[in-house]
Structure 1
Amino acid sequence: MHLTAPATGRPGTRDADGMAVASFILGLLGLLVLNLFLGPIAIALAVAALWRGTARRGRAYLGLALGVADLVVLLALMQADSTVSWSF
């Protein structure tokens, strides 16, 4: 059986849309937990989704911004606590 891309878009657009949504979710989740890991993953997924031409560009950009925000929050809290980790 041969799988084909949907007729409405280019091949791989559905995967890129999934990456954009995953980037948004991981970036949002990274603001609360594991921002050292989830931030860079959100950034990488957002860049990959934008590079592949996602139809959900807004979510990809939000995922990119949230991934960067994850790292900024981590850096700010590390400066405040003088440690590599933080807690509520």
Structure 2
Amino acid sequence: MQLTAPADGRTAPRTAPRDADGMAVASFILGLLGLLVLNVFLGPIAIVLAAVSLCRGTTRRGRAYLGLALGVADLAVLVIAMQLSSTISWSL
């Protein structure tokens, strides 16, 4: 953990970039997992995590964009599967 020195002399932890990097990786993993199971839940979570990590300035922008794309793909797979099965849910 890196420490920064504010103007008043105290040291404060600087965890925002590290947290954003973790969110980008989590977004990628959840988006990838969502293609197989629970895409109705994991897709939106992957999208939100990717968006937040990009707003916080992650250094892993590629992973965040992949997580965003996979989250959208999760929802697209859900919609396509629902249309093919003519139900509001789907299973393999």
TM-score with structure 2 setting the length: 0.85
Q: How many residues are paired up?
A: 82
Ranges of 4+ aligned residues in structure 1 off by more than 2 Å: none
Residue in structure 1 matching 2:69, options 44, 62, 65: 65
Instruction: Give the 5 Å matches for 1:1-88.
Output: 4-5=13-14, 11-88=15-92
Q: Larger strand proportion, structure 1 or 2?
A: 2
Mapped to 1, the partners of 2:19 and 2:12 lie a distance apart of 13
What is the CA distance between 1:85 and its match in structure 2? 1.4
Q: Which has the larger radius of gyration?
A: 2
What is the CA distance between 1:4 and its match in structure 2? 1.6
Matched residues, percent identical?
A: 73
Mapped to 1, the partners of 2:88 and 2:30 lie a distance apart of 20
Mapped to 2, the partners of 1:34 and 1:84 lie a distance apart of 13
- Runs of 5+ unmatched residues, structure 1: 6-10
